[in-house]
């Protein structure tokens, strides 16, 4: 299976870095869809399905928390897997996000092995 992956981060550097790490990890990706904030992401999700959302937390316009709440509250998106990539390492925050339905929280910078492990364990991605 080839995945459509949405990357949501206000930094173009981080968006490109995440794409690079996915490629190094040999995750089979058909398409990367990149957005600068949660609002842009939701606008795209209204018209196109993605297999995985990778999002930052702090962004202008709409932050990662609001984006996750929207995704998990709407029946058409609820099953969509979300991974958070954040600068923070707080366990409390990680637990909060997992309670919201996030499959994993990775602290930046993360390695290709970390994202591969997350996707293999949580989604059964074959690499």
Partner 1 sequence: MIAASRLHVIHEEIASVIQQATFMIVDTAADAGEAEFRPNVSHWAQVEYDGPSQGSVCICADWELIQALSMNMLGIGDTAPVEPGKALDSFKELANIITGRIITLLYGVDKVFRLSTPQYFTQTPLQCSEALVYRFAYDCEGMPLYISLFVHCEET
As measured in angstroms, the least distance from the Cβ of 12 to partner 1 is: 6
Residue number, 17 or 80, with CB nearest to partner 1: 17
Q: Residue 96: left if φ>0, alpha if ψ -120 to 50, beta else—which one?
A: alpha
Q: Please state the closest distance from residue 85 (CB atom) to partner 1, in A.
A: 11
Which H or E run includes 15?
A: helix 12-24
Q: Please, are residues 88 and 63 in contact by the beta-carbon 8 Å criterion?
A: no
| Residue 13 makes contact with partner 1 by CB under 8 A | yes
In the complex with partner 1, the residue whose CB is nearer, 23 or 74, is 23
**Concatenated DSSP letters of 94-120:** HHHHHHTT-SEEEESS--HHHHHHHHH
Residue 2 interacting with partner 1 (CB under 8 A): no
Tell me which residues touch partner 1 (CB under 8 A). 11-14, 16-17, 20, 58, 60, 86-93, 107-109, 111
């Amino acid at each position: 299976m080839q995945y459509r992956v949405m990357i949501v981060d206000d930094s173009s550097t981080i968006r490109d870095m995440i794409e690079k790490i996915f490629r190094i990890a040999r995750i089979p990706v058909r398409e990367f869809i990149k957005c600068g904030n949660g609002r842009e992401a939701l606008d795209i999700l209204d018209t196109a399905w993605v297999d995985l959302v990778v999002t930052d937390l702090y962004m202008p316009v709409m932050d990662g928390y609001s984006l996750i709440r929207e995704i998990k509250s709407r029946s058409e998106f609820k099953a969509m897997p979300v991974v958070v990539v954040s600068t923070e390492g707080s366990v409390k925050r990680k637990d909060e996000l997992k309670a919201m339905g996030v499959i994993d929280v990775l602290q930046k910078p993360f390695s290709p092995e970390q994202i591969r492990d997350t996707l293999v364990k949580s989604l059964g991605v074959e690499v």
